[in-house]
Structure 1
């Protein structure tokens, strides 16, 4: 998975957290050996496995291998007196060790507030918990959690109810039991005790489960094989990676390929689109059309970007990159500002409510009998259900680990880059900035499922441009430190949400994250070195667009001028998408009906569609459409069935359901990511091809 993310990150700048894929593969690997394992491979073990896998898989982004490392290699004499900074394998390992751990310690104190008290959604972590429960034939943990939580009324809620319904205590308690009596909700002993496995749903038996798992495994193997075959064929027949279908459609009357409009039928990007979903891929498509279909020709024919289209410096590709950068910065800053304001507002409201509840406690206690008061005390303790103390990371471990990892970062950054580029004091400041920005990133991730690591890095770049003006190399390094902290903290928080829903030990996940990060330091460094030695980076196969984004941002904040007439478009698009973010966030905050607001494009996806060539975006849109239509098909009533799916075994719909399309998407992504290594070996060995 680390190699897969390195491959896709160097191509498009996009990587996957791989939590769903690692959960699925982990179960597939251990299921055949369940009968001979001394300890059963339960959901708890699956959670810890995917925590280690995620830490390993995301290191290409966390350590900057798809961003700042190639950006440092693109520096010229005007950017840095010594020119490009190309790190050796040893330096890559030391740099990765320096940024791999402090973000993990950032996340530990945030868990109690965001997951336990506020119960933020963390959608990807929740989806992973549902996937693991489905694989292990367990009840949906979100349903179990809901059922459990609705039977417990907090002291504050009961005080409020008591004031509203003075003499109606029986009616006040009745709704609390309504969900537990609902036969559609499967209660489980796991809702009250960490580490227990819960009861199996009544409607599932071992025969149906084995049949459903066989269908899932078959779908995974078929999709993996198809993607692997395409990847191998793409080496021997490179033409299939760049099909000029738009030229064919217009009978070559317009040379669309000259404007980078061609189609790459890569199943891995179809798989990414499946996982992203239709709304995100449509936003990417809009960015692609606006950037590559409108702004690119406009910039060229207006004389603003007269170089070759795919040239980063003088071509329209580099010109529209600035527009996408403006959208990313606007969305990141405004989203983080809204999250900050919302956090402060909620803290003030919660403090006021706690004060009010405290003043009303004596009145309630006088009117309730002793037994009721005792129960309320127990309910208040149970309001924030958490793991036992021996399964939590101690405060001393967190404090000592944070100090040690910070000192390690300072020492290794100085050792790798020398004392002149980024002084010790500024390296420490970069870690502190990373810590504060990580808090905002985690909150944004918990509420929106978007970890704005790119925006976090750019905010850090702006800060350090004011502190250390003119030093582009230092600016990149400081931004990389901030991005690493936000990425590591976000990864662990998503995993901790999964573990909380499935009652896994937070301490085990914490150490699993450290183990995965340590292992990936060497894996990711070796993978990057292999790609750099075999291919030209940046080059035709791996354009590394994220590195150019980092470098352009660093040059901008350090005073270098923008290309002609691009500033007007940057400001215009930034304002428009800033308004979009405000509309989306405020409507969510007030829980209003979505309506037309669902059609507002997502800024980050829009910008990715703008700086990635159209071929990557078009394949992703196909994946998004596949997800949409499969969900529609699964939701159809039996009497609506027709013969348009005669080619599909109906068991996939009834036995596997909506999760099938995610399994297929995962197989597509893993297939190309894995066999890209085979292609790299053949390329290094100069195996002949067309």
Structure 2
């Protein structure tokens, strides 16, 4: 019915938009918007589900374009490549709101605040307050994208590997000449880490997508069976929780040390998309964190509580080592980009109006009616910041976040967004977690001792960096395929507006049915945000954790420097240097999730090495997308069943092993 509505609106669009001079409106397809919103809403529920479980979200821009293409083949008039880009842009803006608005980290962290320790009561946002907070951070990053686009895409021609990969895929699906680029393919995948959009885009070398075989019926077949298989397994695990808590290492390790296995097809699918090098780094971190440091902390008496306890257990103790690794890796990766930015800015100031494109055309191929006018950007950013200041003040009160401090947060977030976009364009890594920590450092000075303000400030900066960075990937795709930046801008705004209500509603439903953080949704990144805010205020660390933090920070700072240098030189072994962020994520998640992702990574490596040596077979990408979406969508069914009071069919197996599969009964 929605598709029929979209086609009817498209048919009557000329009556509403009589100015046919504007080619951006010609590309602005309501059918594409509707399809993008449908895909984006699925991604939104999926990302919220996985984000609250493990701290991961998926941008899935390439997968959105692929699914949009398959859906459009069912229409009487299939969508054009530019409309598919609009589908992908809208879906991405809709699907990543759980991260942009902090529902997988910031909001749960505010609920963990301890009145006795932090001097403030915990904050649990109502549905209306959640809408207000989301509106406060949902748009200013979008308005940052158009002006940054000209600098990084047109003038500097930064790579944006994931955006380029999506453009290559779209060109092949529509049998168009390949985009004018020699960049190699990477599958875009987002990780939060502590809400980090980082190395989960696999840094692996593959061949260009120019020989790709476009899926037709086969694509739907593979997407359907993988979706159904993942959904059935997820539903079975709801009624029989032991399915997702198999003690393959023995009952003792499962019960006392959290070493069990979750055979989730969605996590296998995530591992396929991440790639073998990244999942290998993650499992190396898992072995070090859960197999070495956790027992050391437990037996030494530094973390005497239950292993899984984030306050007194070794899981909370190794969290600090993980945080040190992530900050060191993000900082070292960001320094070269920041230095280049400073040098370039100084050069421009020294030479006045001179620029690196002096004496040349600036490379802009779009006409003015297809670009986003500068006055829209200025007015939109100012309005979004002003409204955001008011909404933050209404939601959190004057004691929570002063309007002047909120404005400072937006300014800091805007400046950090420029660095985030440049880092993403050069390395395919968006270091939003490190940038969020920089904002928290500033606010430890602006509003000292205020835990709430510190967390909110980090969330504001992270929202801007994440949106500006991820949306720039979409604009890179549009640039290579000739899509209208203005049409994409419309899609971004529409997706953000819809996702505000979808994300807030979904989070409200989850909090009504499940405790967050809790057994089913531990929200590990919430503890990262709160712990860092407490550290900045108190300067207190768990016993002897600082020694390991310093050692691991130094080691991974050196590793990050070598990895960055090797990636710049494009040497083949760069992808095998451990990723600091992926390594640290192995500390955050229990072994069950990392092992499942490693299985996916191994499958991806075998498939690519034996069956897709020319990079032209994307069947595994389709299957992985079905696995991820299957569990994410079925989680909605599980949520409804839980809300209706439908419990598990049997807790058989849980009693024998001494562990709980997450049914919370």
TM-score range, shorter chain: 0.7 to 0.9
SS at match of 1:28: helix
Aligned to 1:510: 489
In the alignment, does 2:612 pair up with 1:612? no
2: CA distance, partners of 1:44 / 1:144? 21
CA distance in 2, matches of 1:676, 1:342: 45
Determine the structure 1 residue equivalent to 2:627.
Answer: 668
Q: Indicate the residue corresponding to 1:23 in structure 2.
A: 65
| Structure 1 equivalent of residue 147 of structure 2 | 109
1:236 and 2:239 correspond: yes
Aligned pair partner of 2:636 in 677, 684, 689: 677
Q: Does 1:125 align with 2:177?
A: no
Residue 389 of structure 1 and its aligned partner are, at CA, apart by: 1.5
Q: 1:269, 1:620 within 8 Å by CA — same for their partners in 2?
A: yes
SS in 2 for 1:255: helix
**Structure exhibiting the larger radius of gyration computed from Cα positions:** 1
Tell me, yes or no, if the aligned pair for 1:270 and 1:619 is still in contact at 8 Å: yes
For residue 598 of structure 1, report the CA deviation from its aligned partner.
Answer: 3.7
TM-score between both structures, scaled by the size of structure 2: 0.84
Question: Which residue of structure 1 aligns with residue 7 of structure 2?
Answer: none
C-alpha deviation, 1:588, in angstroms = 3.5
Which residue, 315, 322, 328 being the options, matches 2:313? 315
The gaps in structure 1 that reach 5 residues or longer are 147-183, 187-200, 362-376, 638-655
Contact 1:456–1:482 (8 Å) recurs in 2: yes
1:429 aligns with 2:408: yes
Encode CA deviations 1:169-194: one digit per residue, 9 max, x unaligned: xxxxxxxxxxxxxxx999xxxxxxxx
Aligned to 1:414: 393
Name the SS for the 2:571 alignment partner.
coil
Q: Deviations over 1:376-421 (max 9, x none)?
A: x8xx43x614312210011111111111011011010001111122
Q: What residue in structure 1 maps to residue 297 of structure 2?
A: 299
Q: Work out whether residues 161 and 183 of structure 2, in 8 Å CA contact, stay in contact via their aligned partners in 1.
A: no
The reply on whether 1:74 has 2:112 as its aligned counterpart is yes
Shift of 1:618: 0.5
Aligned partner of 1:14 among 24, 40, 56: 56
Distance in 2 separating the partners of 1:236 and 1:420: 45
Contact 1:79 1:472 in 2 (8 A): no
- Equivalences for residues 261-340 of structure 1 within 5 A: 261-340=259-338
Structure 1 position 283, deviation (Å): 0.7
Counterpart residue number, 2:15: none
Report which stretch shifted further, 494-503 or 554-563. Answer: 554-563
Asked if 1:52 corresponds to 2:30, the answer is no
Tell me the distance in 1 between the aligned counterparts of 2:254 and 2:324: 27
Q: Structure 1 residues 564 and 81 mapped into 2: Cα distance closer, same or farther (>3 Å)?
A: closer
**What is the TM-score of this pair, normalised by structure 1?**
0.81
Evaluate the alpha carbon distance shift between residue 105 and residue 564 of structure 1 in structure 2; reply closer, same or farther with a 3 A threshold.
same
Structure 1 residues 299, 435: closer, same or farther in 2, change over 3 A? Answer: same
- CA gap of 1:469–1:105, structure 2 versus 1, over 3 A, is same
Judge which range, 254-263 or 280-289, deviates more.
254-263
Distance 1:613 1:48, change over 3 A: same
Between 1:18-27 and 1:675-684, the stretch displaced more is 18-27
| Deviation for aligned residue 1:634 | 2.8
Shift of residue 444, structure 1, vs aligned partner: 0.9
User: CA–CA distance in 1 between the matches of 2:631 and 2:227?
Assistant: 8
Q: Residue in 1 aligned with 2:561?
A: 582
Indicate the SS of the match to 2:284. Answer: helix
Structure 1 residues 570 and 507, CA gap change in structure 2 (3 angstroms): same
Q: Quick one: distance in 2 between partners of 1:3 and 1:123?
A: 26
Query: Secondary structure at 1:466's aligned position in 2?
Result: helix
Aligned length: 584
> Do the aligned partners of residues 263 and 353 (structure 1) sit closer, same or farther apart at CA in structure 2, a change above 3 Å counting?
farther
Verify the 8 A CA contact 1:323 1:570 in the aligned structure 2.
Answer: yes
Q: What secondary structure sits across from 2:309 in the alignment?
A: coil
Structure 2: runs of 5+ lacking an equivalent: 1-42, 185-206, 651-665
CA distance, structure 2, for counterparts of residue 562 and residue 143 of structure 1: 48
Per the alignment, residue 538 of structure 1 pairs with: 517
1:451 aligns with 2:430: yes
Q: How much is the aligned-residue C-alpha RMSD, in angstroms?
A: 2.6
In structure 2, relative to structure 1, the CA distance for the partners of 1:145 and 1:262 (3 Å cut) is closer
Structure 1 stretch displaced more, 549-558 or 115-124: 115-124
Shift of 1:69: 0.4
Q: Which residue number in structure 2 is paired with residue 490 of structure 1?
A: 469
User: CA separation in 1, counterparts of 2:583 and 2:223?
Assistant: 30
1:343 equivalent in structure 2: 341
Q: Deviations over 1:455-486 (max 9, x none)?
A: 11111111101221111011011111111111
Are the aligned partners of 1:80 and 1:473 in contact in 2 as well (CA < 8 Å)?
Answer: no
